[in-house]
Structure 1
């Protein structure tokens, strides 16, 4: 039950990061702009949610100029946790003690 909740939260975080990456590309190529109130508030909200996650990763990663690899690292970490760590923890905790 607890593992299911964690997996759902990780999936929600995954989609938040994907939407933020798409929005970032659209803003960078001037397809949409932040003068629109909805786009501006969505952009600020997504940054508020993800910035605490990206900050420690950005401190570790080398400076790559305009390209930010922190979202990619977080997506990879989410995938590892979701598909390797959680199932193995579930099996380990569900196994009867010998």
Structure 2
């Protein structure tokens, strides 16, 4: 069980950093610090968007419309935190 728990924690850590990168790049693009006309910025942004959109879409269906704010990354963030806590509390050392 410990090995499986550590593998799951590693996967959640990768997902955590992908989510943080997507949020930060989204902010930088919205505040016009990064330009989407730069090919590398566009590739990174759209690549992360393609990875995370299948996760965000089911959450967006259940959230009420909030105008320009998207709360689905926060829900995914909290889900990752909860999963990390559950895995670490249930690992047998």
Same fold by TM-score, threshold 0.5 exceeded? yes
Structure 1 residue 51, shift from structure 2 partner: 0.4
Q: Write the distance in 2 (CA, Å) between the matches of 1:51 and 1:26.
A: 19
Aligned to 2:91: 90
Q: Write the distance in 1 (CA, Å) between the matches of 2:42 and 2:74.
A: 23
- For structure 2, the 5+ residue unaligned runs are none
Aligned to 2:34: 32
Mark the structure with the bigger radius of gyration: 1
Aligned with 1:50: secondary structure? helix
Structure 1 residue 10, shift from structure 2 partner: 0.6
Q: Give the structure-1-normalised TM-score.
A: 0.87
Deviations 1:15-69 (CA, angstroms, capped at 9, x unpaired):
1111111101110011111100000000111001100111111111111111100
Matched, 1:73 2:75: yes
The structure, 1 or 2, with the larger RCO (C-alpha pairs under 8 Å, 6+ apart) is: 2
Divergent runs of 4+, >2 A = 87-91
CA RMSD after TM alignment: 1.2
Q: Give the structure-2-normalised TM-score.
A: 0.92
Aligned with 2:84: secondary structure? helix
Q: Write the distance in 1 (CA, Å) between the matches of 2:16 and 2:64.
A: 23
State how many pairs are aligned: 91
Aligned to 1:51: 53
